[in-house]
Amino acid sequence: MKAQQFRNLPDLEQDLMELVRQVPAGRVSTYGSLAEALGNPVAARWVGHFLLHHQHRPDCPCHRLVRADGSLGQYAAGGLPEKAQRLAAEGVEVQDGVVDLLRFGFDRFQSGRPLARLTRIQEEIAAEVSLRGRRASPRLVAGVDVSYTSSAEGVAAYVLVESRTGRRLWTKTIRRPVRFPYITSYLSFREIPLLLDLIDEVLAAGQMAELLLVDGSGILHPRGAGIASHIGVAASVPTIGVTKKLLCGRVDLDDMDALESRPVLYNGKEIGAAIRPTAGSRRPIFVSPGNRVSLATAESIVRRLLLGRRLPEPLYWADRLSRSDARAGL
């Protein structure tokens, strides 16, 4: 799998607006239909958010988009009366704020389905993931995390630590524009171009760790390829994913003791572990191997790096560093 695949990504905003322009006058479509035309209905929430906040022009046909039940939803250029008035002028009947989708609905889009193509990349990544690798605890571990500014930029941080003590040895941050939106289960494509650039600079400085902890899922992902797996395969490095939220799967979280772990099951397989990091934290973290690490080894390494905080030390400091640089500028 070539890293270049993650640097040449579709322009989803442009693709979405091309679909919006396909909805003819006198018809309406839904946010879900647009998401399906992009390649995955999970993008419906992003579609609605983007259309509410996009750079609206007078000739924009976004008033032709409604919710799944036919209700008008919000409108970037004004209130619901204005949206209803524009639809009525095109021959669309609006009764009590609702459009009859059986009469006026449109979903015959011509689309390259870019999200479907990205799904195939995830499936290819999942097929390349290896859960075999080192068993001994590495001497040097790094954490990587990304935070965002208010100007569509991302700040990626790398923090190298000594695994035995958690002592910070070296840090690096970079700032880049971020063009891919946040869509659940597609986080990799938003952050990987930035993280691969960061890893290139780390390698050039001779400061690459034996193993990376990544703020994101590994195989604990609906398609078995979260961001930790993407980085592990694309950069050929051992990785572990650590998240604060469970993206998929089932786990019993009742009455967990401090540092206790519970298996996360998905489709009948154990693909991750929930760990309660401290006695003072009721919320667990979720650990899964990314690449070239077994589940048992991933859990063991993360447990050793939990030194009284909710996050393991490399990720705790990477999170703080990316946030502080995002606020202050580099």
What are the catalytic residues? 62
Instruction: Give me the phi and psi of 325, to 5 degrees please.
Output: -70, -30
Helix (H, G, I), strand (E, B) or coil at 212: strand
Single out the residue of 174, 232, 233, 227 nearest to residue 198, CA to CA: 174
Query: With 0-12 CB in 10 A as exposed, 13-18 as middle and 19+ as buried, what is 129?
Result: buried
Strand partners of residue 190:
none
Instruction: Give me the count of residues in the chain.
Output: 330
Buried b (16+ CB within 10 A) or exposed e, 206-227: ebbbebbbbbbbbbbbbbbbbb
User: What number of CA atoms fall less than 13 Å from residue 127's CA on the CB side?
Assistant: 7
Query: Which run of H or of E encompasses 157?
Result: strand 153-162
* Residue 150 per-residue DSSP state: T
Residue with tokens 């970079």: 174
Alpha-carbon distance of 118 to 38, in angstroms, equals 11
CB under 8 Å to 141, separation ≥6 — which residues?
A: 160, 161, 163, 209, 210, 211, 212, 213, 301, 305, 314
- Cβ distance 212 to 205 under 8 Å? no
Block residue for tokens 């989708």:
101
Contact indicator for 99, 92 with CB cutoff of 8 Å: yes
3-class secondary-structure state, position 170? strand
